[in-house]
Amino acid sequence: MDLTPLAKKMFLRLEPPSLADNTADLDRLRRGLKTAHGLEEVAVDLEVARKAPAILRRSGWRVTALLGLDGRPPRLLDLEAGQTAGREAGLAVDLGTTTIVGELLDLATGRSLGSASETNPQTALGPDILTRIQAARGQGLARLQGLAAEGINRIASSLASGAGLKEEEIVCLSVAGNTTMTHLLLGLDPANLCREPYIPVINRPDPVEAGTLSLKAHPRAPVFVFPNVGSYFGGDLIAGLVASGLAEREEVSLLMDVGTNAEVVVGNKDWLVGCAGAAGPALEGGVAKMGMAAGPGAIERVRIDPRTLEPQLKVIDGRAEPPLGLCGSGLIDLVAELYLAGVIDLQGKLLPLDHPRLVATEEGPAFVLAGGPGERSGEEEPILFSQVDLDILLRSKAAMYTILVTLLSQVGLTFQDLAKIYVAGTFGQHIDPWRAMVIGMVPDLDLSRYVSLGNSSLAGAVKGLVSGEARRKAARIRDRITYLELNVNQEFMNRFSAARFLPHTDRVLFPSVPRPAPRPEPRVG
Amino acid sequence: MDLTPLAKKMFLRLEPPSLADNTADLDRLRRGLKTAHGLEEVAVDLEVARKAPAILRRSGWRVTALLGLDGRPPRLLDLEAGQTAGREAGLAVDLGTTTIVGELLDLATGRSLGSASETNPQTALGPDILTRIQAARGQGLARLQGLAAEGINRIASSLASGAGLKEEEIVCLSVAGNTTMTHLLLGLDPANLCREPYIPVINRPDPVEAGTLSLKAHPRAPVFVFPNVGSYFGGDLIAGLVASGLAEREEVSLLMDVGTNAEVVVGNKDWLVGCAGAAGPALEGGVAKMGMAAGPGAIERVRIDPRTLEPQLKVIDGRAEPPLGLCGSGLIDLVAELYLAGVIDLQGKLLPLDHPRLVATEEGPAFVLAGGPGERSGEEEPILFSQVDLDILLRSKAAMYTILVTLLSQVGLTFQDLAKIYVAGTFGQHIDPWRAMVIGMVPDLDLSRYVSLGNSSLAGAVKGLVSGEARRKAARIRDRITYLELNVNQEFMNRFSAARFLPHTDRVLFPSVPRPAPRPEPRVG
């Protein structure tokens, strides 16, 4: 394992000065860093130089230097009396719009010291990227910056205390997030991200100091922020690419990050082409009444008995409580299961069957997933899945598939040419590829080609935290991606319309997907 | 001329973003800097990134970037709307213990925009290095830092206003000073500079930002501080070496900086050996009653008619006012002239001649230089030169000569091997080499070998300000100097005693110095 974190502590035993060896304090320190740790040249910040003489003498010339190692030359960030090296940690952060996940790492071994997640405190000012950008106007930007820091700080504090460390012993951080989230964390105005022609302030931020961002860590700790390609192609995706290894292999693979905004990259070690497009909010739970983000209480998995139509649900953090709603992966499961059970037809219509789970509502027919008659789910509203919800999901899945088809046709490949399809993002880790294939959201391929990356943004952030090679990879991947503007022309629209069927108007494209079970008793009227 | 200042403004006309070219604001700027100015890579500070989007749009994508050019990669320090390049200036500073001298330079042409000097405001807390170091204890350090900045700021303000520039248009500074002065300016504790084993905090400070030092300039302006070799071998001497060109030539030369502390370097492009030693305060005016630093009112040149003993004086900034005292060069002149006129004998005794200018005082015989009987010099005390003053000067000149002899014998050379002798330092510029030779302070060589460098510390600072090559030279010279600890042993003391005569006990060493005029009438008793 390449253990080259952004910052490192180094212990030094220095010879005290004498008339025979009267080199200056900081030059003595530099000499020690060269002799004992092979650092040829070290830049010294004035702040450290100012306090060094007292620390050197008080400690009897036994000191621990904190070095920032990402620039050339390395930089002396701090100096402590005595031996304090070996305990320092780094924090990798997946800065999501909804959820922030952090993992603390022992920098000496690369070992995980624990992970934790928090709802992004910015949600108080708006649930999604667009509302956040609106909230960032004027003084709002500083507030959103502070809230992002607050979310990371809660994680930093709890992980540090769990590992028996002081917050200042976190000596470096890496952050992967979408372009808007990293802009807000850095205090950069996101206004132009959502206005044509969609311009970020910066694509390749230089490392900043934790103190500048009000992060609870060593104030001089370098913070590496994953670069982005553009407004819709964030550092989280780059981190996912780093985690997947896609960009280093001979074989051609594809990585897809499914969400309100779908991001897709195809390529190998020689080339990388990517595009992003709106897939609609359905996949992130932003639909109708029963949709919710993947989080405690959300139904993430659905199985339906094709005979009885009785659902079996798996709820995130599910205890005794009834589920609160349905997240994206649950939604995909539900539609696939209803389709296979013959409750939804090829054209994406909920059939008005004569069954207690199918009820008529003002918005048309609906399937009662939980809390219906005869179920003991307290006084909550029943969780209904209506035709309106279905239509929204079908648009999202059609958009996703169309984006994939369009991208591949642009690079002259077919799905069969893909060695792997990596499903990335916090949402992606919950998707069942088979059911996503049943509804025609992803191509019909051998399931072994699908690889769920779990939280690939965090996995990439972890790599970026501990490995200089990973950080350089991130920079190279960013520079190598050819960004393809999705041209929403007639051809795209035709593809999109064809993809709104289940699984597709052209069933030949989905040979593995079985025809639905016949349902004998359509209700009349 | 190598015009590569520490910082530079660059004007850019950028293409506004479009859907076809939606690169990020800062990356667009980086691209512009690469295309128009050949900068391959540019680091961007968060502060600049935060304000860039508004400036870029407000200015219609016509902006001026301030680049810090001394590090790798160059750093974007600031961004301004419109075209503001070409007016920026840099300030070179000779930070002397007594006097601060500054020169403002047009960075586009390298042309001087004027120079000015101020008494170092730190003198309020102590006249010399030792008292300053004492004053720097505890809270005193911050105060001395502020006073050094205040002195530079007065010069910066007056020169900027004289050149029609705003202070923020000073975009870089270079400072040469002795080790104590640069420590105080940087806010580094000088306590260990004057305690055995005499350890500076740092010998090679990295450039700092003007704002950090409270200097009146662009707050992000890089400040280059000349490196020092040790406590007694400061950046002013390194600057002098840069100015002299000694370290780049084939021929062996010597540079001497004469003052309370004498610093001498001998060498050429292949080797450099230096030493420093106490020469006593005589040469900086720190003697008896009539001594003073070279400044307005100080007698800097003395000629004495050998027949009448009537003195002719040249006073610095001399207007109608009577002189206030005698500075080092005046002192050297006076002793040389009195020796040549037969008033001082070979052994350095003022002869008790029967002449109105020779008076008896409590401290023995004295020569009335000004303000004596028959002169209209107001009510001031007459300026007397006594045997006490003479003894102090003789010790200083003997120390100086002994240091020179010792250094040369250590490197196996004689004075005849020296192509040039550069006389450096603020004091050096006033010395008359012939008269210094007459008193045996410097070796008896053809006068054409003596080169007065003027204010070589300032001259070096000017070079360091505008030329990257000069800054690299300074670093190389610093690293190349072999510092020779002056061993004050019996041999040294023997040499010192021999050098206290006029010009020397061994007259063969000074063949050019004439024997004094005979004076017929020694006063009896």
Output B287 or B102, whichever has higher pLDDT: B102
Q: Where are the alpha helices (DSSP H) in B108-252?
A: 129-135, 140-162, 179-186, 235-244
As a whole number of angstroms, the distance between CA B504 and CA B510 comes to: 8
In terms of CA atoms, which chain A residue is nearest residue B179?
Answer: A24
First-to-last C-alpha distance (Å) of chain B: 66
Q: CB distance A205–B44 less than 8 Å?
A: yes
> Count of residues for chain A?
525
Q: Cβ(B81)–Cβ(B66) under 8 Å?
A: no
Does B475 lie at the interface with A, CB-CB under 8 angstroms?
no
- Based on the number of CB atoms within 10 Å of its own CB, is A480 exposed (0-12), middle (13-18) or buried (19 or more)? middle
Amino acid at A383: I
Return the percentage of chain A with pLDDT > 90, whole number: 75
- Based on the number of CB atoms within 10 Å of its own CB, is B325 exposed (0-12), middle (13-18) or buried (19 or more)? buried
Q: What are the angstrom distances between the C-alpha of A192 and each of A133, A296, A413, A432, B17?
A: 9, 34, 34, 36, 11
CB nearest A17 (choices: B187, B197, B202): B197
CB nearest B197 (choices: A18, A43, A52): A18
As a whole number of angstroms, the distance between CA B189 and CA B185 comes to: 10
In terms of CA atoms, which chain B residue is nearest residue A199?
Answer: B24
The number of CA neighbours under 13 Å toward the Cβ of B2 is 15
CB nearest B49 (choices: A27, A192, A201): A201
Q: What is the pLDDT of residues A470-482, one digit of tens each?
A: 999 999 999 999 9
Does A493 lie at the interface with B, CB-CB under 8 angstroms?
no
- Based on the number of CB atoms within 10 Å of its own CB, is B114 exposed (0-12), middle (13-18) or buried (19 or more)? middle
In terms of CA atoms, which chain B residue is nearest residue A487?
Answer: B19
Q: Cβ(B110)–Cβ(B8) under 8 Å?
A: no
On chain A, the residues whose CB falls within 8 A of the CB of B25 are: 192, 199-202
On chain A, the residues whose CB falls within 8 A of the CB of B184 are: none
Q: CB distance B197–A22 less than 8 Å?
A: yes
Q: What is the pLDDT of residues A295-338, one digit of tens each?
A: 788 888 999 999 999 999 999 887 757 788 888 889 999 999 99
Q: Cβ(B287)–Cβ(B393) under 8 Å?
A: yes
Q: CB distance B45–A212 less than 8 Å?
A: no
Does A475 lie at the interface with B, CB-CB under 8 angstroms?
no
Which single residue is written with the structure tokens 């990371």?
A152
Residues with Cβ within 8 Å of A271's Cβ and at least 6 positions away in sequence, in order, are A480, A482
Distance from CA of A47 to the nearest CA of B (A): 9
Does B142 lie at the interface with A, CB-CB under 8 angstroms?
no
What residues form DSSP beta bridges with A278?
Answer: A261
Amino acid at B459: A
- pTM for this entry: 0.89
Q: Where are the alpha helices (DSSP H) in B253-367?
A: 328-340
Q: Cβ(B495)–Cβ(B406) under 8 Å?
A: yes
With a cut of 60, say whether residue A346 has pLDDT above it: yes
Q: CB distance B49–A205 less than 8 Å?
A: yes
Q: Cβ(A458)–Cβ(A99) under 8 Å?
A: no
Q: CB distance B19–A199 less than 8 Å?
A: no
On chain B, the residues whose CB falls within 8 A of the CB of A52 are: 201
CB nearest B27 (choices: A18, A191, A202): A202
On chain B, the residues whose CB falls within 8 A of the CB of A187 are: 46, 50
On chain A, the residues whose CB falls within 8 A of the CB of B24 are: 199-203, 228, 230
Q: Cβ(A136)–Cβ(A181) under 8 Å?
A: no
On chain B, the residues whose CB falls within 8 A of the CB of A53 are: 188-189, 191-192, 199, 201
On chain A, the residues whose CB falls within 8 A of the CB of B23 are: 199, 203, 230
Q: What is the pLDDT of residues B322-343, one digit of tens each?
A: 788 888 889 999 999 999 999 9
Q: Cβ(A461)–Cβ(A226) under 8 Å?
A: yes
Q: What are the angstrom distances between the C-alpha of A357 and each of A329, A394, A513, B12?
A: 21, 21, 25, 67
Q: Tally A–B CB contacts below 8 A.
A: 129
As a whole number of angstroms, the distance between CA B442 and CA B447 comes to: 11
Does A412 lie at the interface with B, CB-CB under 8 angstroms?
no
Which tokens go with A226?
A: 């994953």
Strand ranges, E, within B27-70 = 43-44, 62-68
Does A45 lie at the interface with B, CB-CB under 8 angstroms?
yes
Output B519 or A446, whichever has higher pLDDT: A446
- Based on the number of CB atoms within 10 Å of its own CB, is A32 exposed (0-12), middle (13-18) or buried (19 or more)? buried
Lowest mean pLDDT among A13-17, B68-72, B143-147: B68-72
CB nearest A203 (choices: B27, B45, B205): B27
Amino acid at B97: T
As a whole number of angstroms, the distance between CA B57 and CA A455 comes to: 37
Residues B393, B399, B405, B408, Cα dihedral to 10° = -120
The pairing of strands A298-304 and A325-326 is: parallel
In terms of CA atoms, which chain A residue is nearest residue B484?
Answer: A20
Q: CB distance A22–B203 less than 8 Å?
A: no
In terms of CA atoms, which chain B residue is nearest residue A212?
Answer: B46
Q: Mutual orientation of helices B140-162 and B179-186 as an angle, nearest 10°?
A: 90
Output B278 or A427, whichever has higher pLDDT: B278
Query: Is the Cα dihedral B488, B490, B496, B497 positive or negative?
Result: positive
Nearest to residue B449, comparing CAs of B415, B499, B412, B408? B415
Return the percentage of chain B with pLDDT > 90, whole number: 76
Q: CB distance B205–A49 less than 8 Å?
A: yes
Query: Is the Cα dihedral B504, B505, B509, B512 positive or negative?
Result: positive
What residues form DSSP beta bridges with B11?
Answer: B64
On chain B, the residues whose CB falls within 8 A of the CB of A54 are: 189
Provide the mean pLDDT of chain A. Answer: 91
Q: What is the pLDDT of residues A154-163, one digit of tens each?
A: 999 999 999 9
As a whole number of angstroms, the distance between CA A396 and CA B137 comes to: 70
Residue A181 parent element (H or E): helix A179-186
Three-state secondary-structure class, residue B363 = coil
Residues with Cβ within 8 Å of B38's Cβ and at least 6 positions away in sequence, in order, are none
Lowest mean pLDDT among A19-23, A202-206, A249-253: A19-23
At residue A376, the pLDDT reads: 46
Does A52 lie at the interface with B, CB-CB under 8 angstroms?
yes
The pairing of strands A261-267 and A272-278 is: antiparallel
Distance from CA of B42 to the nearest CA of A (A): 10
At residue A71, the pLDDT reads: 82
Q: Mean of the pLDDT values across residues A231-248?
A: 94
The interface residues of chain A toward chain B in range 178-207, judged by CB-CB distance below 8 A, are 186-189, 191-192, 196-206
Q: What is the pLDDT of residues A132-155, one digit of tens each?
A: 999 999 999 999 999 999 999 999
Q: What is the pLDDT of residues A398-454, one digit of tens each?
A: 999 999 999 999 999 999 999 999 998 766 778 899 999 999 999 999 999 999 998
The interface residues of chain B toward chain A in range 70-129, judged by CB-CB distance below 8 A, are 72
At residue A280, the pLDDT reads: 65
Residues with Cβ within 8 Å of B34's Cβ and at least 6 positions away in sequence, in order, are B40
CB nearest A24 (choices: B26, B49, B203): B203
Neighbours of A165 (CB within 10 A): 18
- ipTM of this predicted complex? 0.88
| Mutation site, B199, B209, B486, interface A, largest A CB count within 10 A | B199
On chain A, the residues whose CB falls within 8 A of the CB of B204 are: 26-27
With a cut of 60, say whether residue A375 has pLDDT above it: no
Q: What is the pLDDT of residues B385-444, one digit of tens each?
A: 999 889 989 998 999 999 999 999 999 999 999 999 999 876 677 889 999 999 999 999
On chain A, the residues whose CB falls within 8 A of the CB of B206 are: 43-46
Three-state secondary-structure class, residue A138 = coil
Q: Which residues of A400-420 are buried (b: 16+ CB within 10 A; e: fewer)?
A: bbbbbbbbbeeeebebeebeb
Region of B86 on the Ramachandran plot (φ > 0 left; ψ -120 to 50 alpha; else beta): left
As a whole number of angstroms, the distance between CA A272 and CA A287 comes to: 33
Nearest to residue A89, comparing CAs of A76, A105, A66? A105
At residue B376, the pLDDT reads: 46
- Based on the number of CB atoms within 10 Å of its own CB, is B369 exposed (0-12), middle (13-18) or buried (19 or more)? buried
Distance from CA of B195 to the nearest CA of A (A): 11
CB nearest B24 (choices: A21, A186, A201): A201
CB nearest A201 (choices: B25, B189, B485): B25
CB nearest B22 (choices: A23, A44, A197): A197
**What distance lies between CA A357 and its chain's CA centroid?**
36
pLDDT band, residue A279 (cuts 50/70/90): confident
Q: Mean of the pLDDT values across residues B256-276?
A: 91
Amino acid at A492: F
What residues form DSSP beta bridges with B348?
Answer: none
Residues with Cβ within 8 Å of A361's Cβ and at least 6 positions away in sequence, in order, are A384, A386
In terms of CA atoms, which chain B residue is nearest residue A42?
Answer: B206
pLDDT band, residue A525 (cuts 50/70/90): very low
Nearest to residue A67, comparing CAs of A82, A92, A88, A93? A88
Which single residue is written with the structure tokens 């589920």?
A323
In terms of CA atoms, which chain A residue is nearest residue B197?
Answer: A19
As a whole number of angstroms, the distance between CA A133 and CA A141 comes to: 9
Distance from CA of A9 to the nearest CA of B (A): 21
Residue A368 parent element (H or E): strand A364-370
**What distance lies between CA A140 and its chain's CA centroid?**
24
Provide the mean pLDDT of chain B. Answer: 91
> Count of residues for chain B?
525
Residue B459 parent element (H or E): helix B456-466
Q: Mutual orientation of helices B468-480 and B456-466 as an angle, nearest 10°?
A: 120
Three-state secondary-structure class, residue A401 = helix
The number of CA neighbours under 13 Å toward the Cβ of B357 is 21
